[in-house]
Chain A
Amino acid sequence: EPEVTQTPSHQVTQMGQEVILRCVPISNHLYFYWYRQILGQKVEFLVSFYNNEISEKSEIFDDQFSVERPDGSNFTLKIRSTKLEDSAMYFCASKEQGIQETQYFGPGTRLLVL
């Protein structure tokens, strides 16, 4: 069964460094998302992406964050200058065409900022 994959599974970085989290969505999906989950808290929406542009972003998704779909398969989240509070699990999700279809989540990247 097709699934969303994410790399790396774990990332440790120093505060102020840039990180790029990578995702390969399910191949025929057209909508892409990033969510994050701080330890012990709820899953929070960051950004949605469709037709090569951001369709919606949350307050969390400030100028430090950016997303890109550099080729036909990858979908990346870049954090330009990481802060301690960026430490969280970051989940990529994708869905097929159609608003009322479910999102399928990847296994996540655990980011730790020291």
Chain B
Amino acid sequence: AQSVTQPDARVTVSEGASLQLRCKYSYFGTPYLFWYVQYPRQGLQLLLKYYPGDPVVQGVNGFEAEFSKSNSSFHLRKASVHWSDWAVYFCAVNNYAQGLTFGLGTRVSVFP
């Protein structure tokens, strides 16, 4: 069965520093992969999505992610973090007819 693992429950980063959030997936076949962000007291918003093609995908607000089939990974990156990036980030993989399977999320805290 498909699954998503986000090994880091919490990440703390200084404003202006780079950020990488890890995501490992398990999926039989070629996955569609997604990163969502959840700001406090809000729903999830799509950051970026991967459909088979270029392994590096660009998203909103300077985020990008890289797909690796050999590592079963879809890590999210941002070169310079802003205080407004304080949020919870979810990785997800398509779940055939059941929509998406989500990881448990990584809570990102940004400090000056």
- Please indicate whether A and B come from the same complex rather than being unrelated chains: no
Residues of A within 8 A of B (CB): none
Residues of B within 8 A of A (CB): none
